[in-house]
Amino acid sequence: MDLLPFLVHTLGILVVLDISVNGCTYDHKCNCSLVRGTWYADCSDRGLVRSPKFWPNVTRINLSRNKLKSLPERSLLPDDLTHFDLSNNEIVTFRNNAFQQLWKLTELKLRGNALRVTNELSSNVFEDLLNIKYLDLSNNPELTLRIMPILTRGIQSSTIEILILQKIHYTFSLGVKLRIEDVRFLKHTNLKQIYLSGNNIEQIENGAPYFFPQSLEIFSVPDNRLYTFENISLQNISELYINNNWLGISIESDIDGRIFENLRNLRHLHLEANGIAHLPFMVFKSLKNLQDLDLSDNLLTIVEFDILKLKALKYLGLSGNQLQAFPESTRKTLSHLKEQTNFSLNLLNNPLRCDCKTLDFLQWMVKERKLGKITFPHFRDYACTKSSSDRKVLKFTNIEIQIEELIKQCSSYTTLVFIIASLIILFLAVLSAGLIYRVRWKLRYFYYMTKSRYHGYKAVRGDDQSDFKYD
């Protein structure tokens, strides 16, 4: 009587052992393991040209780094699939039913393929991905932004949180516009992060940002060709990446600070490599919660924007600009800012000057660094020159010694300037005195002539004037 239960139990153990040893597919081409209580089929980097058929109890599948030409047929996939990685294959087209009834899928990775939009592609291809949270279609250069209306329409009722569409255009293709049609279905999603770098986007259509969901926290469009940027009214956005674009002229002309005025909760702003030569005083007037401002690799020669408005600022990146020194007003502002928060200032790869005019600036950097109030990343890698024509570069390895030498040079220079100025003044005084003495009679003549012109002729009268008689 006890034999049957024993055989059933033994058979169950053997099945589990077979799954663990031989895999989660019917042809045993993948490794299978338990991850967080569910079965994970690792089929990556096996040279597969077609997908195996997976057991129904598999929830995570990794088919990355193979040679698949198309998406797996739906019949090969388990219904309870939650994580699906097809990255770095050779997949060209979507199957219209590829994701049909994959309602539990939360993570889908299709980066690094050769996907493209064809006329046969159904607009409903993504509609069953109701629980999708993470979707990555990056590095499919033939996909283009044509996929966006289909994709955003399909996920409009989903739980999408992270959408990655980086490099879905060829690098040297014509510039494109991010249209209202591309994003209008995102309005009522709970999307938190969107990544659109490297897509040759020249312009975001007027009104398109209105359809960005209020839940958006990270908006990333670096490495594009944006030459204008519309005011975005998103209260929850905390990170904005618009570096490596062509926004120099647009930002330089924003004298009223309208571009960023509605991003009051922004904490990280990246504006590197935008060809910015000048920043208006009020450009960041509303960014009171900004902690990280990166302006590296631009063309700035002076920092004139209102830093005091950035009360929460902890990092200011100015590396790779054209800065030679900070004026006293900027140094005082930064010293005041550091009293409110720990502050880091990056000035690496600027053409800093080491001369008498910038001595105060050099001493200020060393003092603040020694006190630990302001940190200068890679400080010892800084370099400076004594003049624009001087090719000799002085490293900051021993900047304290160089400052001491500079103090002596500048002291002698100041004394010399004072002596020369005094001699010039003395020479001019002696020369003036000599000239006045030489023409003293002419000057006296002109004095009396001028006096007689205004006062007229006056006869000289004596006490005995009444004794004279005239015929």
Three-state secondary structure call for residue 19 = helix
Half-sphere exposure of 42 (CA within 13 A, CB side): 8
Q: Using alpha carbons only, what angle is made at residue 167 by residues 163 and 171, rounded to the nearest 5 degrees? A: 160
Given pLDDT bands bounded at 50, 70 and 90, which one contains residue 11? Answer: very low
Can you tell me the mean pLDDT for 370-386?
Answer: 92
Q: Which residues pair with 346 in a beta bridge?
A: 317
CB 291 within 8 A of CB 260: no
Label residue 121 exposed, middle or buried (CB < 10 Å: 0-12, 13-18, 19+).
middle
- Rounded to whole angstroms, the Cα distance separating 21 from 44 reads 17
Which amino acid type is present at position 371?
A: L
CB 197 within 8 A of CB 168: no
Given pLDDT bands bounded at 50, 70 and 90, which one contains residue 413? Answer: low
Half-sphere exposure of 273 (CA within 13 A, CB side): 8
Which amino acid type is present at position 277?
A: A
- Rounded to whole angstroms, the Cα distance separating 420 from 28 reads 93
Q: Which residues pair with 269 in a beta bridge?
A: 240, 293
In the chain, helix, strand, coil percent, each to 5? 30, 15, 55
Given pLDDT bands bounded at 50, 70 and 90, which one contains residue 7? Answer: very low
Three-state secondary structure call for residue 147 = helix
CB 279 within 8 A of CB 252: yes
Residue 19 confidence (pLDDT): 43
Alpha helices in 114-208, H assignment, sequence order = 147-154, 180-183
Share of the chain above pLDDT 90, in %: 68
Identify the DSSP state of 367: H
Query: Is it the case that residue 471 has pLDDT exceeding 70?
Result: no
Residue 420 confidence (pLDDT): 78
> Could you tell me which residue, 338 or 277, shows the higher pLDDT?
277
* DSSP string for residues in 66-113: S--SBPPPGGGS-TT--EEE--SS---B--TTTTTT-TT--EEE--SS
What is the number of other CB atoms lying within 10 angstroms of the CB of residue 215?
Answer: 16
Start-to-end C-alpha separation, the chain: 181
CB 60 within 8 A of CB 33: no
Kindly state the tokens that stand for 378: 């890679």
In this structure, what are the phi and psi dihedrals at residue 353, rounded to the nearest 5 degrees?
-105, 145
Residue-wise pLDDT for 29-66, tens only, equals 899 998 888 899 999 999 999 999 999 999 999 999 99
Can you tell me the mean pLDDT for 90-119?
Answer: 95
Rg (CA), the chain: 38
Query: Is it the case that residue 415 has pLDDT exceeding 80?
Result: no
Which amino acid type is present at position 260?
A: F
Query: Is it the case that residue 381 has pLDDT exceeding 60?
Result: yes
Three-state secondary structure call for residue 13 = helix
Residue 429 confidence (pLDDT): 78
Can you tell me the mean pLDDT for 371-380?
Answer: 91
What is the number of other CB atoms lying within 10 angstroms of the CB of residue 116?
Answer: 18
What is the number of other CB atoms lying within 10 angstroms of the CB of residue 39?
Answer: 22
Residue 321 confidence (pLDDT): 97
CB 220 within 8 A of CB 247: no
Per this entry, what is the length of the chain?
471
**Starting at the edge strand that comes first in sequence, how are the strands of the sheet with 352-353 ordered?**
352-353, 383-385, 394-395
Among residues 224, 223, 289, 284, which one has the least CA distance to residue 257? 284
Query: Is it the case that residue 456 has pLDDT exceeding 70?
Result: no
Which amino acid type is present at position 154?
A: G
CB 266 within 8 A of CB 244: no
- Rounded to whole angstroms, the Cα distance separating 199 from 103 reads 30
- Rounded to whole angstroms, the Cα distance separating 116 from 146 reads 9
pTM metric for this prediction: 0.82
Q: DSSP strand E in 140-279: where?
A: 162-164, 176-178, 193-195, 201-204, 218-220, 239-241, 268-270
